[in-house]
Structure 1
Amino acid sequence: MKTVLIVEDDPINLRVYSKVLTTRGGLNVKGTEDVEEAMKIAQAGDADIILMDVSLAHSVYQGKPVDGIKITQMLKADAQTSNLPIILVVGNMMEGERETYVKQSGADGYIRKPIVDHQQFVDQILALLPKDDTSA
């Protein structure tokens, strides 16, 4: 079973995303707002994809405040986690801002919140999950 790591500081969003991904997507979910924990999970290979909240109002890494963009940049710069797909979760922004965030961070895509279409949400994540290489 594939595992989605959700890095989110809103417990309600975390609960909703988890429920949708487990019930509709048949996925295993880990959730945290703790940056150190998220980095450890990613580096240990315990996640197949990351759903990264952009704002993360209270997150700190090594004593410095960080947001989802910075965490994504760190993960993409690390050879151990650079191939791990990361989807940014972004709120309402001006046209073009989301794409700028994806470029800045090196993320593999973005999802807008609030999430209205649950099946589309699951489909976007499933599309970016690494495929099992059973056919060579």
Structure 2
Amino acid sequence: MKTVLIVEDDPINLRVFSKILTKRGGLNVKGTEDVEEVIQIAHSGVIDIILMDVSLAHSVYQGKPMDGIKITQMLKADAQTSKLPIILVTAHAMEGDRENFLRQSGADGYISKPVVDHQKFVDQIMALLPKD
């Protein structure tokens, strides 16, 4: 069974995404907003894909505030985690944001919140999951 790491600072969003992905997608889910933990989990090889919130209010790494773009850049620059698919999730979906966020971060996909179509949400994640 595939495992999704959800990096999200809103506990309600985390719960909603977890439910959708376990019930509709049949996926395992882990969740955190702790940057050290994200890096550790990514390095451990136990996850298959990351859902990364763009604006993380409380995330700090080495004393500096970190958002989802910066964390994604770090993971994509690391040879050990660069192949791990990362989907950005954001409520700040303005015209042109999608392309900017994808270009800046190196992420593999982009989903805007709120997630209304649960099946489409699951399908977008399934499409980027590595095939065995």
Query: TM-score category by the smaller chain?
Result: over 0.9
Secondary structure of residue in 2 paired with 1:9: coil
After TM superposition, the structure 1 = structure 2 runs for residues 23-34 of structure 1, keeping only pairs within 5 Å, are: 23-34=23-34
- Tell me the equivalent position of 1:114: 114
Secondary structure of residue in 2 paired with 1:87: strand
Query: Which structure 1 segments of 5+ residues have no match?
Result: none
CA distance in structure 2 between the aligned counterparts of 1:44 and 1:93, rounded to whole angstroms:
32
CA distance in structure 1 between the aligned counterparts of 2:123 and 2:46, rounded to whole angstroms:
21
- How many correspondences in the alignment? 132
> Which amino acid in structure 2 is aligned with residue 107 of structure 1?
A
> Which amino acid in structure 1 is aligned with residue 21 of structure 2?
L
- Tell me the equivalent position of 2:41: 41
- Tell me the equivalent position of 1:79: 79
Secondary structure of residue in 1 paired with 2:29: strand
- Identity of counterpart residues, as a percentage? 81
After TM superposition, the structure 1 = structure 2 runs for residues 1-136 of structure 1, keeping only pairs within 5 Å, are: 1-132=1-132
CA contact (8 A) 1:90 1:98 kept: no
CA distance in structure 2 between the aligned counterparts of 1:93 and 1:53, rounded to whole angstroms:
12
Question: TM-score normalized by structure 1?
Answer: 0.95
CA distance in structure 2 between the aligned counterparts of 1:24 and 1:93, rounded to whole angstroms:
25
> Which amino acid in structure 1 is aligned with residue 25 of structure 2?
G
CA distance in structure 2 between the aligned counterparts of 1:118 and 1:23, rounded to whole angstroms:
10
- Kindly report the root-mean-square deviation, in angstroms, between the aligned alpha carbons of the 2 structures: 0.6
> Which amino acid in structure 2 is aligned with residue 18 of structure 1?
S
Question: TM-score normalized by structure 2?
Answer: 0.98
CA contact (8 A) 2:93 2:112 kept: no
